[in-house]
């Protein structure tokens, strides 16, 4: 009985012919924002229409679940063929363990030339490429023009950290919540500390800490970053209960017009829509964005940027079709379309002409002029030390640690990981 | 062979039962083997081996990829013992057990004493109190997260109606763990109540009736007769309660994720956050080993000391 069944299926398989033999491409993502997912579904359908033998399967996990489960998923035989990444230390650990596919041979040539070299280099490790970037983004202050008007704060006046502190004080006086943030997720708060560290110490301080020079992450610029952050924290700038709020809750507060600012990445434009009570978010003419202010006397530049070079990695053992699909989604045509819709800023040359969306234009200009683009620390430093950065940033915001302790904790974690 | 032939040819009348008994004996052995092998295999594969593996991993610094190679001795345990967050997690686990024992169990017992009697609607009341236990833990967490939410939730509605400032219990480092304990008590008192009801219904009626005839009050009957008579059940429910308290995870994770600022971690949520989420499988395994030793140590000593005669 069993034999006949298996024979039958074998025969069916033989006669099905190459046209029907489906190759599955498992595509693991973490997008929850409508327009982005819609575009991804179009890409999937478009590729399948052109390649009849390929079945692209989109798999979704929310960001936190994604981070928790990916390690285990990669060890199994049905590991995703293409999966989301922020590059950095996590990617390097995955490559070291042999869970990524070396696609250098595919990338070389026209595909490679289509990217901005700086962005693509984030996907290079030990001389090999394991994936490609799709999006470059930047963190800064999203703000609500109407609330700025109400409190009589001119956004143009916020050039330095002290200006920001003054603005926060004005909002408090006017009875407006100055800033929304998601303390339960912790990473929204690490934008403050790491941005301040970058402004104060610049690239040099970060590189020196990575190289283990001097006091490492316990050095003066990192302590100063904590001190400047505490200056903000003592003004109580965040919405009530921010320590229990996740990023989506905070985006909801901002999208509902209940807070004047939110320090977030480019993607928040969509998060504040999808998490708002009315599902619409702030009206386009009230929504605006400005870069993180400079710190007086800091060694960094006002034009240094902090953000992601996010993209896709190819899992070990993935079929060639997965690489073809990756080439398809990051093709200049498709990325031009994404840019034209304002979904993100592709890390590619020759996109500025299609970018009409005012926000994307602003990001593209800032990123093109960037003197130093630092990847999110919690990704760049690897999952273990990265999360310690998130922890201490949250502890600073909650007033349960000191700037010195915070810096020392990061240094301890770093030296433990790298001993 | 020869013996068999001898018995066959020999004492014919006693031959049959003797053989049957022997066969039955070996039958039983075969049966035991046949039925035990799957269970033992599963037990070894899914219980013994993971425990052994965790103990092995706990000696390495390992991110979960490939095979562990970086042997660090007892460094993971050393680090663990020095971490404030772990101390908080231990303290919180202790608090959970403490409140389970002094609030949850007495509440369950009190309700059981009332609801083990027969009156109209008793079944409805029992089901009502048992209902939270049936709910999935993550669902419970999400429901209570809404209850506690100071912006949109039930808490917001209440503070709004009272005209006071909104309260954010889960954002308070002091209160968050107590908020979790309230939910735990709410969720599990019904389970213990059911255990007690089952025990109380087994008490012979005549004992209670004779006490009533002697003029004992409700409270006297409860204290002097009913509670002593269900002592084995109470011991069992204390056992469940402590062991369950040591393993609380889902509720904490869905309510607070151990926050704010690691103030509401339990041992298991600490393991998940600092082991799994940070890709420090060696460190996480060390936490697992500590928890395992505590659980096993407790389980054995409790059974030896309190459940000897049961």
Does some domain include residue A2? Answer: no
Structure tokens at A158: 């916020």
Per-state percent for chain B, helix, strand, coil, to nearest 5: 75, 0, 25
Q: Identify the residue with better confidence: B19 or A87.
A: A87
Q: Shortest CA distance to A217 belongs to which of A388, A89, A90?
A: A388
Say yes or no: A220 and A349 in one domain: no
Does some domain include residue B54? Answer: no
- CATH number for the domain harbouring residue B100: 1.10.3720.10
Is-contact B272 B280, C-beta < 8 A?
no
Say yes or no: A164 and A285 in one domain: yes
What mean pLDDT is predicted for residues A219-231?
97
Q: Measured between CA atoms, how close is A242 to chain B, in angstroms?
A: 7
Beta strands in chain B (DSSP E): 60-61, 70-71
Question: Are B278 and A395 an interchain contact pair (Cβ–Cβ within 8 Å)?
Answer: no
Say yes or no: B160 and B301 in one domain: yes
The span from the CA of A49 to the CA of A46, in Å, is 5
Given a cut of 80, whether residue A16 has pLDDT beyond it is no
Say yes or no: B35 and B84 in one domain: no
- Residue B69 — pLDDT band, cuts 50, 70, 90? confident
pTM: 0.84
- Residue A85 — pLDDT band, cuts 50, 70, 90? very high
- Residue A15 — pLDDT band, cuts 50, 70, 90? very low
Res A112: pLDDT = 92
Res B34: pLDDT = 87
Q: Which residue of B has its CA nearest to A417?
A: B61
Say yes or no: B95 and B210 in one domain: yes
Say yes or no: B20 and B132 in one domain: no
Does some domain include residue A17? Answer: no
* Complex ipTM > 0.90: no
Say yes or no: B21 and B100 in one domain: no
Does some domain include residue A374? Answer: no
Given a cut of 90, whether residue A325 has pLDDT beyond it is yes
Q: Which residues of A touch B (CB under 8 A)?
A: 67-68, 71-72, 74-75, 90, 93-94, 96-99, 183-184, 186, 240-245, 249, 253, 382-384, 387, 391, 394-395, 398, 400, 416-417
Res B33: pLDDT = 85
Mutate to test the interface with B, among A90, A190, A243 (most CBs of B within 10 A): A243
Structure tokens at B239: 């056992």
Domain housing A174: 139-306+381-417
Q: Identify the residue with better confidence: A201 or A78.
A: A201
Say yes or no: B292 and B162 in one domain: yes
Say yes or no: A158 and A274 in one domain: yes
Is-contact B257 B274, C-beta < 8 A?
no
Say yes or no: B7 and B79 in one domain: no
Does some domain include residue B51? Answer: no
Given a cut of 60, whether residue B210 has pLDDT beyond it is yes
What mean pLDDT is predicted for residues B261-283?
92
Say yes or no: A316 and A300 in one domain: no
Q: Which residue of A has its CA nearest to B278?
A: A384
| Alpha helix ranges (H) inside A211-246 | 220-233
Say yes or no: A266 and A408 in one domain: yes
Say yes or no: A181 and A293 in one domain: yes
Say yes or no: B211 and B258 in one domain: yes
Does some domain include residue B83? Answer: yes
% pLDDT > 90, chain A: 72
Domain housing B17: 2-40
Other beta carbons within 10 angstroms of residue B271's beta carbon come to: 24
Structure tokens at B229: 């008579």
Highest mean pLDDT, choosing among A89-93, A148-152, B117-121: A148-152
Say yes or no: A295 and A348 in one domain: no
Does some domain include residue A9? Answer: no
Say yes or no: A192 and A323 in one domain: no
Say yes or no: A253 and A331 in one domain: no
Q: If you count residue pairs, one on A and one on B, with CB atoms under 8 Å apart, how many are there? A: 89
Say yes or no: A47 and A177 in one domain: no
Structure tokens at B23: 């066969």
Given a cut of 90, whether residue A158 has pLDDT beyond it is yes
Residues of A in contact with B256 (CB under 8 A): 184, 244
Does some domain include residue B184? Answer: yes
What mean pLDDT is predicted for residues A60-81?
87
Res A2: pLDDT = 47
Structure tokens at A20: 């029907």
Q: How many domains does chain A have?
A: 2
Query: In this predicted model, what pLDDT tens digit does every residue of B18-61 receive, in sequence order?
Result: 666 766 677 788 888 888 898 899 989 998 999 999 999 999 98
Averaged pLDDT of chain A: 90
Res A349: pLDDT = 77
- Residue A159 — pLDDT band, cuts 50, 70, 90? very high
Does some domain include residue A18? Answer: no
Does some domain include residue B47? Answer: no
Res A14: pLDDT = 45
Does some domain include residue A4? Answer: no
Say yes or no: A172 and A129 in one domain: no
Q: Which residue of B has its CA nearest to A386?
A: B278
- CATH number for the domain harbouring residue A353: 3.40.190.10
Query: What φ, ψ does residue A305 adopt, rounded to 5°?
Result: -120, 150
Res A230: pLDDT = 97
Does some domain include residue B14? Answer: yes
Say yes or no: B80 and B36 in one domain: no
Structure tokens at A315: 């899992």
Does some domain include residue B46? Answer: no
Say yes or no: B215 and B110 in one domain: yes
Q: How many domains does chain B have?
A: 2
- Residue B16 — pLDDT band, cuts 50, 70, 90? low
- Residue B174 — pLDDT band, cuts 50, 70, 90? very high
What mean pLDDT is predicted for residues A182-203?
95
The span from the CA of A121 to the CA of A119, in Å, is 5
Say yes or no: B215 and B90 in one domain: yes
The span from the CA of B251 to the CA of B249, in Å, is 6
Res A13: pLDDT = 44
Q: Shortest CA distance to A129 belongs to which of A108, A114, A98?
A: A108
Res A163: pLDDT = 97
What mean pLDDT is predicted for residues B176-190?
95
What mean pLDDT is predicted for residues B246-265?
92
Instruction: Describe the crossing of helices B137-148 and B176-201 by its angle, rounded to 10 degrees.
Output: 130
Does some domain include residue A13? Answer: no
Is-contact A351 A335, C-beta < 8 A?
yes
Given a cut of 50, whether residue B9 has pLDDT beyond it is no
Q: What radius of gyration, in Å, describes the C-alpha atoms of chain B?
A: 27
Say yes or no: B157 and B212 in one domain: yes
Say yes or no: A216 and A301 in one domain: yes
Structure tokens at A187: 């990473």
Structure tokens at B115: 């609801």
Given a cut of 50, whether residue B3 has pLDDT beyond it is no
Does some domain include residue A16? Answer: no
% pLDDT > 90, chain B: 68
């Amino acid at each position: 009985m069993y034999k006949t069944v298996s024979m039958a299926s074998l025969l069916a398989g033989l006669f099905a012919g190459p046209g029907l033999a489906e190759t599955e491409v498992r595509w693991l993502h973490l997008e929850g924002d409508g327009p982005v997912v819609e575009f991804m579904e179009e890409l999937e359908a478009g590729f399948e229409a052109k390649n009849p033998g390929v079945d692209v399967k989109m798999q979704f996990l929310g960001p936190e679940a994604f981070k928790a489960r990916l390690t285990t998923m990669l060890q199994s035989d049905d590991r995703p063929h293409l999966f989301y990444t922020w590059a950095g230390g996590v990617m390097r650990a995955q490559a070291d363990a042999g869970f990524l596919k070396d696609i250098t041979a595919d990338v070389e040539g026209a595909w490679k030339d289509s990217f901005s070299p700086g962005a693509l280099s984030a996907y290079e490790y030990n001389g090999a490429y394991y994936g490609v970037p799709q999006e470059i983004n930047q963190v800064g202050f999203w703000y609500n023009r109407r609330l700025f008007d109400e409190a009589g704060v001119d956004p143009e006046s916020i050039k330095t950290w002290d200006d920001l502190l003054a603005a926060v004080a004005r909002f408090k006086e006017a009875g407006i919540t100055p800033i929304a943030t998601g303390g339960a997720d912790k990473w929204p708060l690490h934008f403050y500390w790491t941005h301040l560290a970058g402004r104060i110490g610049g690239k040099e301080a970060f590189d020196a800490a990575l190289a283990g020079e001097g006091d490492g992450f316990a050095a003066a610029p990192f302590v100063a970053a904590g001190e400047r952050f505490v200056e903000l924290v003592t003004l109580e700038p965040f919405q009530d209960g921010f320590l229990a709020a996740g990023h989506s809750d905070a985006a909801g507060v901002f999208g509902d017009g209940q807070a004047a600012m939110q320090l977030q990445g480019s993607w928040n434009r969509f998060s504040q829509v999808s998490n708002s009570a009315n599902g619409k978010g702030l009206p386009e003419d009230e929504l605006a964005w400005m870069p993180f202010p400079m710190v007086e006397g800091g060694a960094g530049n006002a034009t240094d940027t902090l953000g992601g070079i996010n993209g896709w990695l190819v899992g070990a053992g993935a079929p060639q079709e997965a690489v073809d699909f990756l080439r398809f989604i990051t093709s200049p045509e498709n990325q031009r379309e994404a840019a034209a819709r304002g979904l993100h800023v592709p890390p590619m040359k020759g996109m500025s002409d299609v970018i009409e969306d005012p926000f994307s234009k602003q990001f593209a200009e800032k990123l093109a002029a960037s003197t130093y683009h630092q990847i999110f620390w919690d990704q760049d430093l690897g999952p273990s030390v990265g999360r310690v950065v998130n922890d201490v940033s949250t502890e600073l915001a909650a007033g349960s640690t000191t700037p010195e302790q915070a810096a020392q904790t990061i240094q301890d974690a770093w030296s433990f990981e790298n001993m | 062979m020869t013996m068999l032939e001898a018995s066959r040819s020999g004492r014919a009348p006693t031959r049959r039962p003797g053989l049957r008994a022997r066969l039955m004996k070996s039958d039983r052995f075969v049966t035991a083997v046949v039925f035990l092998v799957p269970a033992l295999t599963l037990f070894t594969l899914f219980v013994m081996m993971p425990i052994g593996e965790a103990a092995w991993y706990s000696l390495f610094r390992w991110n979960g990829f490939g095979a562990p190679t970086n042997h660090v001795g007892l460094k993971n345990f050393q680090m663990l013992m020095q971490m404030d967050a772990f101390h908080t997690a231990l303290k919180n686990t202790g608090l959970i057990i403490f409140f389970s024992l002094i609030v949850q169990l007495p509440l369950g017992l009190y309700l059981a004493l009332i609801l083990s009697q027969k009156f109209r609607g008793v079944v409805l009341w029992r089901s009502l109190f048992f209902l939270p236990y049936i709910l999935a833990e993550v669902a419970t967490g999400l429901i209570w997260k809404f209850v506690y939410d100071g912006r949109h939730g039930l808490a917001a509605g209440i503070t709004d109606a009272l005209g006071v400032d909104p309260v954010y219990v889960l954002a308070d480092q002091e209160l968050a763990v107590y908020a979790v304990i309230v939910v735990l008590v709410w969720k599990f008192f019904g389970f213990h109540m059911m255990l007690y009801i089952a025990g109380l219904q087994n008490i012979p009626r005549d004992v209670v009736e004779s006490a009533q005839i002697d003029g004992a009050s409700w409270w006297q009957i409860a204290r002097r007769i009913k509670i002593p008579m269900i002592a084995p059940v109470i011991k069992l429910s204390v056992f469940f309660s402590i062991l369950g308290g040591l393993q609380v995870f889902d509720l904490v994770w869905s309510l607070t994720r151990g926050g704010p600022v690691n103030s509401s971690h339990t041992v298991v949520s600490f393991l998940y956050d600092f082991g799994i989420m940070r890709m420090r499988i060696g460190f996480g395994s060390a936490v697992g080993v500590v928890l395992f030793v505590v659980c096993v140590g407790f389980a054995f000593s409790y059974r030896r000391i309190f459940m000897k005669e049961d």
